[in-house]
Amino acid sequence: MKYSDYAQWTNRVTRWIEQHFATLRDKPVRAQTEIGAIAARLPAHPPEQAVDMETIMADFERIVPDGITHWQHPRFFAYFPSNAAPASMIAEQLTNAIASQCMLWQTSPAATEIEQVMIDWLRQAMDLPEGFKGVIQDSASSATLSAILTMRERATGFTGNDKGLSGQGRLRIYCSAQVHSSIDKACWVAGIGQDNLVKIPTNDAFEMDPTALQDAITADRAAGHIPAGLVLCTGGTSIGACDDLPPLIAIAKAEDLYTHLDAAWAGSAMICPEFRDVWRGAEDCDSIVFNPHKWLGANFDCSIQFLKDANIQRRTMGLRPSYLETPQAQEITNFNEWTVPLGRRFRALKLWFLIRAYGLEGLRSRIRNHVAWTKELESKLRARPDFTITTDSRLALFTFQYTPKGGDPNAASAELLQRINDDGRIYLTQTLHQGQYVIRFTAGQFDCTRDDVMTAYDVITELAA
């Protein structure tokens, strides 16, 4: 295939996409394929000779759609959403064609400068104070790793990168048990170790207990350990837990700990002023991550890391070998110095298209609807004797159990969930909460309607019966 054939094939692909969206509501949300079935349809060996695009496209249509779980299905209520608003898809198509490496200002000035402006637009949209800068990363996991590495370097007087960690004493990071596993993984990768990630107990509202945090830090100092950082959460993955930030940040400041807030999912809702009470105090964090690719509408990958003082993270990761040196390095931003990977995609373009094509009001109204419809579904299920709401909705997420008379709620819920996902009209997933198997519900697909959410009620109750 040649560049001159590009238009022909994008036109063909565009027609496929149009058909795909037109029929998406009729398809099962979760792929209904058997393990290994897709791989079995591919030849075991790579072709020595070129295959014509006609055959490649035909094989795509024959093989791939069956093996897709449809994250863009309006009745995808599992995990958290991973959106692809049409305007963002168009921007990604342009990004694909331009295919710049946006590691240095010089290697893509437009990408760097649009990224800076988009970070500032989002800062304003979420009402964070001026002075917060930021960077677009591929995932919240990468942003959190960056923050943990920054905690490590800051706590070792910026000697970890040079000397390694042996002989440095035990660095300690604190979080609650409600945080995402990406915090654990960041501690593994940063050389801090799982044993030095201290999980602080939570109160009845699943917020980290400030007294327990203070006690843990005090005990660690007495033992000669080095408290390095505090990771907070707004909208934990399991049940949407939100730490009460002010008392925890006050302790971190008094103890000179660097703070990172994981709001990967819930952060998008912070463009709505009425929801901001869940992260009251966020403006005092050193680092905040949220994923516009989850709930805001941007395509994966698009994770924003806001930084109160970007210099600390740049000092942690700003390696500058001679082959990357550029003129005027003092005045310009070279974003590779803010992140672990060197190469970077032009991710800001999809934010620019997204925010303009819908406006903040358009984006807010979707999130508000998701929250309102989720609460409506929650109260309908709550009214039934055979269902129990196990955790109340936080923004657009609640959990429930199927609790038929005389049955074991864990087994009944697991069986119901399997039936629901085999049925395919909706897609839900589970979590283990306080030892109980509970079903999560979260609405957030860009095109989701009230009807879609109410269909979930019909499917859940029909299949339970």
Which spans of this chain sit near ligand PLP (rule: CB under 6 A)? 80, 139-141, 180, 182, 235-237, 262, 264-265, 291, 303
| DSSP 8-state assignment for residue 128 | P
- Taking the least distance from each CB to ligand PLP, the nearer of 181 and 434 is 181
Least distance (Å) from ligand PLP to the CB of residue 297?
Answer: 15
Q: Give the integer Cα–Cα distance in Å for 107 and 78.
A: 39
> What secondary structure letter does DSSP report for 345?
-
CB of 139 to ligand PLP, least distance (A): 3
- Residue written as tokens 């008392």? 247
Element containing residue 21 per DSSP (H, E):
helix 6-23
What is the nearest approach in angstroms of ligand PLP to the Cβ of residue 279? 12
Q: Which residues are CB-neighbours of 82 under 8 A, at least 6 positions away?
A: 71, 293, 294, 300
- Minimum Å gap between C-beta 286 and ligand PLP is 17
Nearest distance from C-beta of residue 233 to ligand PLP, angstroms: 6
Please, are residues 317 and 151 in contact by the beta-carbon 8 Å criterion? no
Which residue, 220 or 262, has its beta carbon nearer to ligand PLP? 262
Amino acid at the residue 274: E
Tell me how far, at minimum, the Cβ of 254 lies from ligand PLP, in Å.
26
CA-to-CA separations, 197 to 182, 217, 228, 234, 252, in angstroms, rounded: 12, 12, 10, 19, 15
Give, for 148, the enclosing helix (H) or strand (E).
helix 140-155
Tokens of 3: 């560049």
- Shortest distance, position 164 Cβ to ligand PLP, whole Å: 26
Query: Min. distance of Cβ 266 from ligand PLP in angstroms?
Result: 8
Compare residues 209 and 262 and give the one whose CB is closer to ligand PLP: 262
- Which one, 103 or 140, has the nearer CB to ligand PLP? 140
* Strands of 91-130, DSSP E: none
**Nearest distance, CB of residue 147 and ligand PLP, angstroms:** 12
Which one, 92 or 262, has the nearer CB to ligand PLP? 262
Closest among 269, 177, 235 to 394, alpha carbons compared: 235
Nearer to ligand PLP, 80 or 373 (CB): 80
Closer by beta carbon to ligand PLP, 80 or else 358: 80
Q: Is 453 helix (H, G, I), strand (E, B) or coil?
A: helix
CB of 367 to ligand PLP, least distance (A): 15
Q: What residue type is 412 in one-letter code?
A: A
Grouping H, G, I as helix, E, B as strand and the rest as coil, residue 184 is helix
Rounded to a whole number of angstroms, the minimum distance from the CB of residue 181 to ligand PLP is 8
CB of 295 to ligand PLP, least distance (A): 10
- The CA distances from residue 373 to 159, 362, 368, 381, 452, in Å, are 51, 17, 9, 12, 9
Q: Is the dihedral of CA 392, 394, 396, 400 positive or negative?
A: negative
Query: How many C-beta atoms lie closer than 10 Å to residue 96's C-beta?
Result: 10
Secondary structure of 45-100 as H, E, C letters:
CCCCCCCCHHHHHHHHHHHCHHHCCCCCCCCECCCCCCCCCHHHHHHHHHHHHHCC
Task: Please tell me the distance from the alpha carbon of residue 304 to that of residue 224, in angstroms, as a whole number.
Answer: 35
Residue 104 or 147: the one with the smaller Cβ distance to ligand PLP is 147
Beta carbon nearer to ligand PLP, 152 or 293: 293
Question: Torsions phi, psi of 277, nearest 5?
Answer: -65, -25
Q: Rank residues 242 and 460 by Cβ distance to ligand PLP and give the closer one.
A: 242
100 or 139: CB nearest ligand PLP:
139
Residue 291 or 333: the one with the smaller Cβ distance to ligand PLP is: 291
